[in-house]
Structure 1
Amino acid sequence: MSRIKDFNVTYEAISEDHAFSEGDTIVGTVNFRLTKDVKVKSVFVKAKGDSIVKWTESNGEEREFHYSHWRYFKVKEFLFAENFNHISLAGTSLPQGAHTFKFRLKIPEENMPSSFQGKHGKIVYVVEAKISRSWHLPSAVQKEIKFVSKAFLNTPQVMVNTTMMCYKFDIWITIDRGVCFPGETLSVVAKICNSSSKNIEPKFKLQQKIVYRCDGKTKTCDETLFKEVGDTIRPNSEQTASRQLKIPSDAIATLRNCDIISVEYQLKVYLDISFAFDPEVVFPLLIIPYRFAAIQPGEPVGPYPPGRAWAPSYSNYPSLAFPTGSGACPSLDPAQHANITSGNFNQWPQGAAPYGFSVPGFTSPSVPAYPPATPQFQQGEPSLSPELVTEQINKLNVSSK
């Protein structure tokens, strides 16, 4: 029976969420009780951060196991060590009774990912204490710490808006922010013109994508966190669909500064059309830890000029004057209508800063900077070539003279 009882390691909280970040110092104590005098070689404490991914794939009768490990840091402090000037294989004797050792461990000032727990991997930070004795296995105890990366600092808050025009359908979409935190509510407004002969339904959904990586292989887990359906829009009519979409309170923060695990989010707004491809607009969404919500330096873009209900469009085509009253939807130029039937074209001007984001002050050269890319347009059909887009713009310019 072990003579070491009530072995425990504790640390002091430095924030309301009991989380630590780069550069913080972990202050705590190691406690244990000895039922008899015990000869000990050393007592030490260490803090470390690691990421691990592992999964198994079946290929016929063979099974392939994938495993990858990444160490971010390890700091160590000896609390008690035998006097090496008088070496004893048995160690130095500690008396019977309770023992308490204080420690201070500083987390390095390096870009490291936040804590994460997933189906095929995890990112974990722990404080571990060990008692080493001769001719005995070490006695160890560890406690996990919550780690929140500072990579989200200096990520401004802005409004996101775009326009999608495709055959028989025109959509104006505005989201009040592209950066949010778990539990926050997003305001999404979609103004839709249905010039077709079919009923359509606008739908909104938030998708989470987790990718695990190992030796060039990937394992992807996709999940829809919520999905909402708007009112039916009848043929040859227009309607404004407004939705208040709440981010799940337990949503994992976006993760991009880990080499073997990533977490991304997309907000999709699409039209459900019977027996046809569903045009959709995809907005990359950045979800940050709640502790950074109160220190966001940016504000929503605006206000806009009087009488203008929509944010500026970055379309390669002239803006349409959407009617504010009742009546038919505005008609597009036939040549323009015929050539905007395919999706996947980027309406943002080349070289423009997506969403007006600035580069954060805490990034790693090997890690893509926050925020995400610009909205993507998808319909399941071939995309417009640059030459065709240029040709259509020239035609529009000539016709307007």
Structure 2
Amino acid sequence: MRKLILFQIILDQNKLIYNPGDSIHGQVLIEFREAIKLKFIKIRLFGCAYTHTKSKNRSVIEREVNDCYEFLTFCDRTNAIYGGERDGDGNYTWIPAGAHKFGFQFQLPIENLPSSFDYSSDCYIRYRLEATAERPKERKYETKVEITIKERININLPFLFRAKAPVKRQKNVGWLIWKRGPLKVTSWLNRYGYCPGDKIIINVEIENLTRRTIPYVKAKLLQDVRYVAEGTFEHHDRELAAVHYNRPITGGATMAWTNGEIIIPNLSPTIKCSIIELLYYIKISVKVPFGFNLCVNMPVVIGTMSLRSSSPTSCHNWSNSCISRRTSDASTSSSSCSSSWVSENSIDVENTISYLRSIFDSTRVNDVPAKNNLPPSYDTCMASNTTINDIARAENGDEMIPTYSSVINPSANRQSSSISK
């Protein structure tokens, strides 16, 4: 008969979602059928990022595939919550049968603690609590519980709240009997930063000076996952939501698509660490018959601290109080990066990601503001208190799926919509 009945980690208020700088309080519950000897009981807070890629040998003779691994530890702390007492002969004393509780507390670091993310078994950021009860000369007991870290990304900051500058792109279209002519696209979004459940407002203007008819225009929200292991990179894109403009644009005509909406589904926030990057962008794709589509990419930041107010003034005032310690050089470099990207580097994905990296570095909150100065959570704004699974891993049925407090919007489940003729 097994001596152990129950070995469990219980967190205060069953809380599983934490922010950097928070305190983790809980108890370790252990119950035995009969008296037992224990050396100690320890609990460990552990968080790490892990990546795995495959490196192919380019040699024609040796076509080898090498496995590459990268491991990054964010926190690793262990507390002894029970140390086995010894009697006069040096033997461990007996713990009586029944249930026993041992309290514990951990303080999470403020910096260098990215949000939980589980893309696959080859790319994840995980945090967990592990409890170990070791017996003398016998097998030890172990249990663990996964927790979710939600990094503070405040979309009330001025450069995330402001409207995006228009992005322009054009190409010459023509082939054989069709005379070449320019196809011009101008697109912009209502702002840079969003939270799950928000609406991304899309505006597109198209000037079709070709002889071809453009059948439709598509706008989609893409998730860009990039990770590296031992210098080998992996890159994956996935479409999360889309909306179509299905009115044909004849040659010589001009079209204005205003207030197109994409509702952001429940997903992980933007993440950036040294080996994993999770980024998002809106891709406008203009269908060109018998040719390559004309595309425009615009990065967005998915945050965890929702808009405090619809008034730009109130958001600006709150942001100033939170970033008063930032130097003027940092803000200058951020604004100069913004203007240069819009004018020159708004076409290809590589420069789009580079720009998003720069603005994301500026959104990190190094000093946690006082609680009474923080904007309300997304649950408070939307009058909802729903816990959802990360859609990146829900399809695979992995038990180690991070959860985020978010709003369940019925319209958010609609993956695509269209505007027809």
Residues 1:355 and 1:162: Cα distance change in structure 2 (over 3 Å): farther
2:210 matches 1:196 = yes
Question: Which residue does 1:4 correspond to in 2?
Answer: 4
Question: Which residue does 1:293 correspond to in 2?
Answer: 306
Equivalent residues in 2 for 1:321-400, closer than 5 Å? 344=347, 359-360=362-363, 362=365
Q: Report deviation, 1:10.
A: 0.8
2:81 matches 1:66 = no
Question: Which residue does 1:39 correspond to in 2?
Answer: 37
Question: Which residue does 1:105 correspond to in 2?
Answer: 106
Larger radius of gyration: 1
Counterpart residue identity of residue 298, structure 2: F
Alpha-carbon separation, structure 2, partners of 1:223 and 1:261: 16
Q: Report deviation, 1:299.
A: 3.1
Equivalent residues in 2 for 1:234-249, closer than 5 Å? 234-242=250-258, 243-249=260-266
Question: Which residue does 1:310 correspond to in 2?
Answer: none
Residues 1:157 and 1:129: Cα distance change in structure 2 (over 3 Å): same
Alpha-carbon separation, structure 1, partners of 2:357 and 2:128: 37
Structure 1 residue matching 2:166: 3-state secondary structure = strand
Q: Report deviation, 1:227.
A: 3.3
Question: Which residue does 2:293 correspond to in 1?
Answer: 278
Residues 1:270 and 1:102: Cα distance change in structure 2 (over 3 Å): same
Equivalent residues in 2 for 1:173-192, closer than 5 Å? 173-192=187-206
Q: Which deviations, in whole Å up to 9, do the C-alpha atoms of 1:18-59 show, x marking residues without a partner?
A: 411221111111111111111111112221211112245666
Counterpart residue identity of residue 277, structure 2: S
Q: Report deviation, 1:14.
A: 8.4
Alpha-carbon separation, structure 2, partners of 1:93 and 1:357: 55
Structure 2 residue matching 1:359: 3-state secondary structure = helix
Q: Which deviations, in whole Å up to 9, do the C-alpha atoms of 1:356-395 show, x marking residues without a partner?
A: 999335259xxxxxxxxxxxxxxxxxxxxxxxxxxxxxxx
Counterpart residue identity of residue 254, structure 2: E
Counterpart residue identity of residue 77, structure 1: N
Tell whether the 8 Å contact from 2:297 to 2:347 is kept in structure 1 after alignment.
Answer: no
Tell whether the 8 Å contact from 2:283 to 2:296 is kept in structure 1 after alignment.
Answer: yes
Tell whether the 8 Å contact from 2:300 to 2:356 is kept in structure 1 after alignment.
Answer: no
Structure 2 residue matching 1:118: 3-state secondary structure = strand
Select 1:215's aligned residue among 230, 243, 255.
Answer: 230
Alpha-carbon separation, structure 2, partners of 1:111 and 1:277: 42
Alpha-carbon separation, structure 1, partners of 2:28 and 2:357: 49
Tell whether the 8 Å contact from 1:75 to 1:106 is kept in structure 2 after alignment.
Answer: no
Any gaps of 5 or more consecutive residues in structure 2?
A: 173-181, 314-338, 368-421
2:165 matches 1:161 = yes
Alpha-carbon separation, structure 1, partners of 2:133 and 2:52: 30
Tell whether the 8 Å contact from 1:171 to 1:190 is kept in structure 2 after alignment.
Answer: yes
Residues 1:73 and 1:35: Cα distance change in structure 2 (over 3 Å): same
Query: In percent, how many aligned pairs have the same letter?
Result: 21
Tell whether the 8 Å contact from 1:158 to 1:355 is kept in structure 2 after alignment.
Answer: no
Counterpart residue identity of residue 110, structure 1: E
TM-score when normalising by structure 1: 0.70
Residues 1:57 and 1:94: Cα distance change in structure 2 (over 3 Å): same
Alpha-carbon separation, structure 1, partners of 2:77 and 2:253: 65
Residues 1:228 and 1:143: Cα distance change in structure 2 (over 3 Å): same
Residues 1:85 and 1:49: Cα distance change in structure 2 (over 3 Å): farther
Which piece of structure 1 moves more, 227-236 or 75-84? 75-84
Any gaps of 5 or more consecutive residues in structure 1?
A: 301-313, 319-339, 365-401
Residues 1:232 and 1:86: Cα distance change in structure 2 (over 3 Å): farther
Tell whether the 8 Å contact from 1:157 to 1:297 is kept in structure 2 after alignment.
Answer: no
Structure 1 residue matching 2:127: 3-state secondary structure = strand
Tell whether the 8 Å contact from 1:191 to 1:241 is kept in structure 2 after alignment.
Answer: yes
TM-score when normalising by structure 2: 0.67
2:142 matches 1:146 = no
Alpha-carbon separation, structure 2, partners of 1:82 and 1:343: 63
Counterpart residue identity of residue 278, structure 2: V
Select 2:269's aligned residue among 249, 253, 257.
Answer: 253
Structure 2 residue matching 1:70: 3-state secondary structure = strand
Alpha-carbon separation, structure 2, partners of 1:357 and 1:219: 21
Alpha-carbon separation, structure 2, partners of 1:343 and 1:74: 41
Residues 1:356 and 1:11: Cα distance change in structure 2 (over 3 Å): closer
Q: Which deviations, in whole Å up to 9, do the C-alpha atoms of 1:269-312 show, x marking residues without a partner?
A: 132111233322210111123xx114489839xxxxxxxxxxxx
Alpha-carbon separation, structure 1, partners of 2:290 and 2:190: 32
Alpha-carbon separation, structure 1, partners of 2:310 and 2:141: 48
Tell whether the 8 Å contact from 2:298 to 2:346 is kept in structure 1 after alignment.
Answer: no
Q: Which deviations, in whole Å up to 9, do the C-alpha atoms of 1:334-353 show, x marking residues without a partner?
A: xxxxxx9x99499x9xxx99
Alpha-carbon separation, structure 2, partners of 1:37 and 1:225: 55
Counterpart residue identity of residue 232, structure 1: P
Equivalent residues in 2 for 1:66-145, closer than 5 Å? 66-83=68-85, 88=90, 90-119=91-120, 120-145=122-147
RMSD: 3.7
Alpha-carbon separation, structure 2, partners of 1:345 and 1:69: 30
Q: Report deviation, 1:133.
A: 0.9
Counterpart residue identity of residue 68, structure 1: E
Question: Which residue does 2:186 correspond to in 1?
Answer: 172
Alpha-carbon separation, structure 2, partners of 1:345 and 1:211: 16
Which piece of structure 1 moves more, 156-165 or 217-226? 156-165
